[in-house]
Amino acid sequence: MNRELLWRGFPTDQRGTPLRRFWDWADGGADIPPIHGWAASSALGANGRAGAGGQITLLLRGRLLRRYPNAVLLAWRAKGNQLIKPASAADIRTPVFGGALGRDIVFAGFDLTDTELLQGDGWFFVLAEQPSEPRFGFDEPDVRVPSPALTAWSGADWRHTGTAPGAWLRITGNALAGTQFGGVRFVDHAAHLAMLSLQSPMRIALHARSLLA
Question: Are 41 and 79 within one domain?
Answer: no
87 falls within a domain: yes
Q: How far apart are CA 169 and CA 161, in angstroms?
A: 7
- Is 90 exceeded by the pLDDT of residue 14? no
Q: What is the pLDDT of residue 33?
A: 87
pLDDT band at 213 (very low <50, low <70, confident <90, very high): low
Write the pLDDT tens digit of every residue in 86-132. Answer: 999 999 999 999 888 888 899 999 988 888 888 899 999 999 998 88
35 falls within a domain: yes
- Is 60 exceeded by the pLDDT of residue 35? yes
Write the pLDDT tens digit of every residue in 120-179. Answer: 999 999 999 988 888 899 999 988 999 999 999 999 999 999 998 889 999 999 999 999
Contact 125, 78 (CB under 8 A): no
Range of the domain at 34: 1-50
Q: What is the pLDDT of residue 63?
A: 84
Question: Are 34 and 72 within one domain?
Answer: no
Question: Are 32 and 112 within one domain?
Answer: no
- Is 90 exceeded by the pLDDT of residue 64? no
Lowest mean pLDDT segment, chosen from 32-36, 145-149, 188-192, 203-207: 32-36
Residue 56 CB burial class (10 angstroms; 0-12, 13-18, ≥19): buried
What are the strands, taking DSSP E only, across the chain? 56-61, 72-79, 82-83, 92-93, 97-101, 105-110, 123-128, 135-136, 180-181, 184-185, 198-199, 203-207
Question: Are 112 and 206 within one domain?
Answer: yes
Question: Are 112 and 68 within one domain?
Answer: yes
Q: What is the pLDDT of residue 51?
A: 66
Count structural domains, the chain. Answer: 2
Tell me the H-state helices in the chain. Answer: 2-7, 64-67, 114-118, 190-197
Q: Mean pLDDT over all residues of the chain?
A: 88
Distances (CA, A) of 51 to 46, 113, 151: 5, 10, 54
The last residue of one of the domains, among 10, 30, 50, is 50
184-185 vs 97-101, strand pairing mode? unpaired
Question: Are 93 and 26 within one domain?
Answer: no
Q: What is the pLDDT of residue 52?
A: 64
150: left (phi over 0), alpha (psi -120 to 50) or beta: beta
Question: Are 1 and 102 within one domain?
Answer: no
